[in-house]
Amino acid sequence: MLNCTLGRITLPRVFFRGPCLRRVKKGMETLYAYLAGVIDTHGRISISRDRGYRRGSREMAYYSAAITLSDSDSVLPDLLQATFPARRLQYEAKNRAHRAWHMWEAVGESAQEPLLRLLPYLRMRRRQAELALSLITLMQSDKAGSARPDVDACGVPVAAKAEQPLRPGPDRPWSLRSQGRRNYREGSGESPG
């Protein structure tokens, strides 16, 4: 009997006919949408800079993209680990009155699959995910020999993105926060949210 793999789920080929296949795909889409909501509300997508080593008189830096979730309950980190295997950690509190906390983290190239799968469903952290995917793609193309890819991880031409300046807007909440601070300083009377 042949097996089929959809995401991380392996089922016998019998299940991959007609309506059964649509249900499995729909289930994975629902799972990705749920996990994207979790990352939007409780997670973090970031690019970190780490000082690496010295080469002659100059210091080389490493950059890495990461997607992280930490929670005091193990359910969500376990679900992320089952869907996208990466690093799963558990920390015990030194004070016995405090609860342990659980963490799931994908760094570097292991962050590519979760970011690609969750990107269509992300709302608040969509731009951070796009930038992280661009970094991963750039690093992969640099390893392959070409330092500048023609398109980024989202399929948008790099030249087209370079022509569009970043402008404040409803899809960039950090710009709205800075706009609020400026209005407060100018004496609008409203405190920044």
pLDDT (0 to 100) of residue 54: 73
pLDDT (tens digit per residue) in 134-155: 999 998 888 877 555 555 555 5
Q: Which residue has the higher pLDDT, 184 or 42?
A: 42
Q: Tell me what percent of the residues of the chain surpass a pLDDT of 90.
A: 44
Q: Which of the four pLDDT bands, split at 50, 70 and 90, describes residue 127? A: very high
What is the pLDDT at residue 6?
Answer: 52
pLDDT digits (tens, 9 = 90+) for 80-99: 999 999 999 999 988 888 88
Higher-confidence residue of 127 and 57: namely 127
To the question of pTM greater than 0.75 for the whole model, the response is no
Residue 10 falls in which region: left (phi positive, over 0), alpha (psi -120 to 50) or beta: beta
Query: Tokens representing 171?
Result: 């899809």
Which has the higher per-residue pLDDT, 45 or 51?
Answer: 45
Mean pLDDT across 156-181: 49
Residue spans of the domains in the chain: they are 3-125
pLDDT at position 113: 96
pLDDT at 27: 80
Residue 156 φ then ψ, to 5°: -90, 130
Query: Residue type for 148, please?
Result: R
Q: From CA 35, how far away is CA 12, in angstroms rounded?
A: 26
Q: What topology does CATH give the domain 3-125?
A: Endonuclease I-creI (3.10.28)
pLDDT the model gives residue 167: 54
- How far apart, in whole angstroms, are the C-alpha atoms of residue 114 and residue 83? 9
Q: What is the mean pLDDT of residues 22-35?
A: 83
d(CA 6, CA 167): 39
Q: For residues 56 and 6, which has the higher predicted lDDT (pLDDT)? A: 56
Judged by DSSP in three states, 185 sits in helix
State residue 64's pLDDT score.
Answer: 92
Torsion of CA 102, 107, 111, 115, to 10 degrees: 70
Q: DSSP string of 15-44?
A: GSSTHHHHHHHHHHHHHHHHHHHHHHHHEE
Residue 86 in 3-state DSSP? coil
Contact in structure between 1 and 12 (CB atoms under 8 Å) = yes
Cα separation, 99 vs 97, in Å, equals 7
Q: Residue 20 above 90 pLDDT? A: no
